[in-house]
Amino acid sequence: MIAGVGPALIDYIHLIDEYPERGGNTIVIWTKKFAGGAGANVIYGLSRYGIECSFYSTIGRDEDAEFFRRSMEGVYLKLKVTHERTGRVDIYVDRQGERTFFVHPNASGILKLDMDCGDFEMNDYFYLDPFPSRESLKLHIEVARKAKEFGKEVILSMSYPYVKMGFESLKELLRYTDIVITSKAEFDLLDVEIEDVLKFVDLFVLTMGKDGAMALTGNSEFYHPAYKVKVVDTTGAGDSFAVGFLYCYLKGYDVETCLKIGNFVAGYNVQKYGARNIPSLNEVECEISHNDKDV
């Protein structure tokens, strides 16, 4: 079983023609509501592929909380109410598929998780996704340390909230981390070499958008190109990559296949609006059996 520990969020996606200049304005063409939170998106996707999943987070008492719970059907949930309102993200997407996030932390900014020894015993993997809170890193260090005490594997989504803290701040968490997944744009903000991260972790996975993805260990490097698709919305591209990559990883496939299917699921997702558009398990299994001339 794999556990997600990250924010429970609701995404409100607003389509616009183009971003205005600072101080200007633009017209919102439509608004749609989706369940979100990067870690929640990953756990949702893995559960749809038949992986046993659990998710630990904080939530509100509002209708958005019920909306989120319904979206995670089939996942073992431990959601602690810490605020009247559930965390919300307003996402503005232009016609080229580029997006900008505005986060309302609400419950996801007040971290009082409900986790005990039984949770660490029953889960084999822990996927950590930053909360929009100053307490997020401290909480994840505690979770990761406890997971290692139980002999479990820790996977870190090293996204913007953490990389902006700087590499020195992340070292303690990395000491308890086995796999790091991050984007090139986010990793570049750390201003360190991949080798610096590999001093702490066993596997470093870097997504590069249209340039594909790569993975590195202490002595090996792997690469797979991106799939050529028409991009509608890049929201959740990294999350859907993690779904494909981790599905194959948990099933014991080699790293090249993990990268390939990560790119395949991400390419599928960006052709639609929202972060939870993933191909069927049958499509994924068929793609696993195809060779790379189909990319």
Closest CA to 150 of 171, 128, 173, 123: 123
Domain boundaries, the chain: 2-19+30-294
In the chain, what are the helix, strand and coil shares in percent, each to the nearest 5?
Answer: 35, 25, 40
Contact 284, 244 (CB under 8 A): yes
Closest CA to 60 of 25, 84, 27, 88: 84
pLDDT in tens, 132-185: 999 999 999 999 999 999 999 999 999 999 999 999 999 999 999 999 999 999
Rounded to two decimals, the pTM is 0.92
Residue 291, pLDDT score? 67
Fold of 2-19+30-294: UDP-N-acetylmuramoyl-L-alanine:D-glutamate ligase (3.40.1190)
In this prediction, residue 236 has a pLDDT band, given cuts at 50, 70 and 90, of confident
Residue 294, pLDDT score? 47
In this prediction, residue 45 has a pLDDT band, given cuts at 50, 70 and 90, of very high
pLDDT in tens, 249-293: 999 999 999 999 999 999 999 998 877 889 999 999 999 998 665
